[in-house]
Structure 1
């Protein structure tokens, strides 16, 4: 696609925001099968034991300079960074196809974005805002790397891949969505780039893998990394993996191994170790990671089992103690801040809080099931979106009418229909209406422009289900994305990208950057590949 101001402006601010939100030969097995099974419950034994596999167990060795483990966004970009810097690259992926994740990718001050009319942001201000929104827990050097290099990465992609492969891309404007940003809970800046008009990163993922393979990158699917190989000095020299026949193969990497293995959200022991009890219970019961795989085959249903994290720790790395996450919701009027109530019929939060960052609030409600209810009047008031949708767009994009909802002539009747206490819900609505009439939410400080009394029936209740998507935490890395040991020294030959990299977020996703997790994954993955290639 040839980007132009016309292409950028044709959807408008809300439209572009919505578009962005809407991707071996055999080897004789002479060693025992991998023995990295974990207990179903408990926290003490989350690490498990490394499988007893070594290069000596393999009759086949596949050599490369840089080996990338994992083919999602971070892995793709790591392969790109290594290939672009002259390395011979191999990618191994335990599934039958590349992973697809997220909807937009965040970059800062790329020429591509500036040409489209987006503002040029101050890197210091941006990095400081990122640090603030991660509760001062992120590694500021990792933030700075994104600020310093992400624009260059996008411009390189545009020249090398996006234009030659006719890959759709459109910088997204969030300018002017909020009349008074000082009254909003969440801060946004226009850093996101959409790579589809209607879909997640499906096309981007497929196309970039085709580009990489055209440039000589070798990819082995249905190939599961099992253990990192280290020499006597502790340097990582490769990976022993099992192919689709369960046969061990040694992937020998002369320059380095980059671990881009994603989430550990499907690992019960790790979830219970690194998250509070109620959050872990909710996340394990509502893990929807595979929802983002599109129509590609998912051959390994335990792909977010944290094996990559454990491989890193077996090699000497340390997990961060406070782990972050990303969540989503599949039902209800997302990003329209109507009154929310829990299973007791009580209001419990400022409804403008981003769905990406509020799962811990919802998971901590009675029942810990992630289910809450939107209570909506049917008058003529147009509730503004807290992200920039209009109602017609949201209704079409999210197929709103297919979501579970109920309607009644009274609040008490509505409460009966959804299993809530009528007196409690009635009292909650009366209190909410008082605040709306006063024009000031002194209970939860919701901005006045979102305050509409629920005083015009029939009344509606829309079920909202929060889902867990992935963990966003991992091991400590330096500014070259080298993995560090307990003494904060680099483990030679070992790098990481994406959701195996720790200290990027605080206790949850932060929403300043549109597509921020993907933005960090893309930039850090690229820089890991660059560093490995130039080592």
Structure 2
């Protein structure tokens, strides 16, 4: 582990803190009034029929039967940790993956108070304060039992992984802390909950994902790739006893689970009916149009269909589970300068928010702006002002992380010329810039209360406009579970034999992913998956 924590953060930890990689700076993004017409044209799905009917499949329709003890549906991070948790507790484990390879996302995983982090000299977190901070950050919408489970058990998971997998398999790992790296001298926001561990120097979790699957295979876990789970099998008492799946040849297979089934099937962001059921219309339209879920499949073979169709959520609900009624999301922005709080304007040329806010919690604001295109413009002057980053890295590092030339941007000698190039009203943009400059000169942002240290007047041409396109990544809503990760029915009673982890689980976030929870989505997915596998093997 020769890479220093500070250098790691300069080249890539921002992507890890967001739980996302940096390779989407150049994503093409349609614009203009045609977008709304296109969205309206394609908005045929009804949110009321999002669930649909379960496939009429029974074990009698299957060409063969595979008997095992614990079945894990989905092989990404939560699924691999579920397989690990079940295997570590002595169970025979079978994993079903509909793709040819696991989905990969994020750079860091968050663990609390592990011996590994303590030995690295990192700060330990007070469980009481941390649990309450999380509850506040999620707008009191998360289930504190699920957050507390993460706080209480993730350190154990990290130390077990280190002993069983990381060191024996020479898997790179580096405990991190963002304290002192992402400064907040004005105390405008809650302190970062920063407990991430990186598993690559520059990449997302590619090596970790492939290596953990090699480890699981060596320990006897069998994975069926290109095998799509279709429906859960239940006995007369309602207990889940297995899964009916379809292989790449179209043959049905009955997988029988003597102990339990763990569902770790991820996002439903490409399911139009579900998006319109569990999100506001403008947000759903934007998310469907700018879904970037498959960006992390890399060079591995993939199917020709989008994976995040919500089938796992529907399988759970067909078996009696209850969905969270208002779901959260994860999203981020393209452009190398996204964490530098320059003046932002919408498509009408007007300022609309404090630019120094959480990167990930503003997508719904932007999606609701006039035109509902999900993009805004950064207006940048030419001067010697060294704009501080609100997220801890300098411009040189940002330029290395993101290919800035792939970001749509324009330059002009006057504000009026710039307005024409970006197709916003020139008089409105000029008025916005004039007002912004007055606030900068006064040293006080009376309109949105941005900190004085970020007030840089737009007073030195030529002027630049950088397009900041918001991209949707995944949904963060799902079914209700208890602290053993048993899936609950509408009466909050466990459905026997059924467990869940990852983005299939609900009540973990508020309206959105919270960037102050460093590696939070991966952290929750890992711990919840691990406990789900453990419970399936032992209860």
Report if TM-score (shorter chain) is over 0.5.
yes
Which of 7, 11, 14 does residue 11 from structure 1 map onto? 7
1:141-197 deviations in Å (ceiling 9; x for gaps): 000000101111111111111111111111222121354455334641321111111
Pairwise mapping of residues 52-91 of structure 1 onto structure 2 (< 5 A)? 52-91=56-95
Partner of 1:107: 111
How far did 1:355 drift?
A: 2.2
- Does 2:446 align with 1:442? yes
1:179–1:236 distance in 2 versus 1, CA, 3 Å: closer
1:240-297 deviations in Å (ceiling 9; x for gaps): 0000011110010001000000000000000000000110110011111011211112
1:399–1:74 distance in 2 versus 1, CA, 3 Å: same
Would you say the 8 A contact 2:336–2:399 is kept in 1?
A: no
Would you say the 8 A contact 2:445–2:452 is kept in 1?
A: yes
Partner of 1:425: 429
How far did 1:94 drift?
A: 0.3
Partner of 1:281: 285
The number of equivalent residue pairs is 516
1:461-482 deviations in Å (ceiling 9; x for gaps): 0011101100001000001000
Would you say the 8 A contact 1:19–1:196 is kept in 2?
A: no
Q: SS of the counterpart of 1:114?
A: helix
Which of 412, 424, 443 does residue 408 from structure 1 map onto? 412
Structure 1: gaps (5+ residues): 24-38
Partner of 1:530: 534
Partner of 1:348: 352
Would you say the 8 A contact 1:8–1:171 is kept in 2?
A: no
1:216–1:283 distance in 2 versus 1, CA, 3 Å: same
1:383-419 deviations in Å (ceiling 9; x for gaps): 1111111111100111112211111111111111111
Which of 194, 198, 214 does residue 198 from structure 2 map onto? 194
Partner of 2:260: 256
Pairwise mapping of residues 179-328 of structure 1 onto structure 2 (< 5 A)? 179-185=183-189, 187-328=191-332
1:267–1:180 distance in 2 versus 1, CA, 3 Å: closer
1:50–1:179 distance in 2 versus 1, CA, 3 Å: closer
1:79–1:179 distance in 2 versus 1, CA, 3 Å: closer
> What is the rounded CA distance, in whole Å, between the counterparts of 2:65 and 2:299 in structure 1?
33
Which of 138, 144, 150 does residue 146 from structure 1 map onto? 150
1:284–1:20 distance in 2 versus 1, CA, 3 Å: closer
Partner of 1:162: 166
> What is the rounded CA distance, in whole Å, between the counterparts of 1:115 and 1:494 in structure 2?
37
> What is the rounded CA distance, in whole Å, between the counterparts of 1:45 and 1:16 in structure 2?
42
> RMSD of aligned C-alpha atoms?
1.6
Partner of 2:455: 451
Partner of 2:469: 465
> What is the rounded CA distance, in whole Å, between the counterparts of 1:151 and 1:179 in structure 2?
26
Segment drifting more, 390-399 vs 508-517: 508-517
TM-score, normalisation: structure 2? 0.93
1:84–1:48 distance in 2 versus 1, CA, 3 Å: same
Q: SS of the counterpart of 1:227?
A: strand
1:15–1:456 distance in 2 versus 1, CA, 3 Å: same
Q: SS of the counterpart of 1:492?
A: strand
Q: SS of the counterpart of 1:153?
A: helix
Structure 2: gaps (5+ residues): 23-42
Q: SS of the counterpart of 1:11?
A: helix
Following TM superposition, the consecutive aligned residue runs of length 4 or more in structure 1 with deviations greater than 6 angstroms are none
Segment drifting more, 256-265 vs 169-178: 169-178
> What is the rounded CA distance, in whole Å, between the counterparts of 1:85 and 1:179 in structure 2?
42
Which of 330, 335, 343 does residue 334 from structure 2 map onto? 330
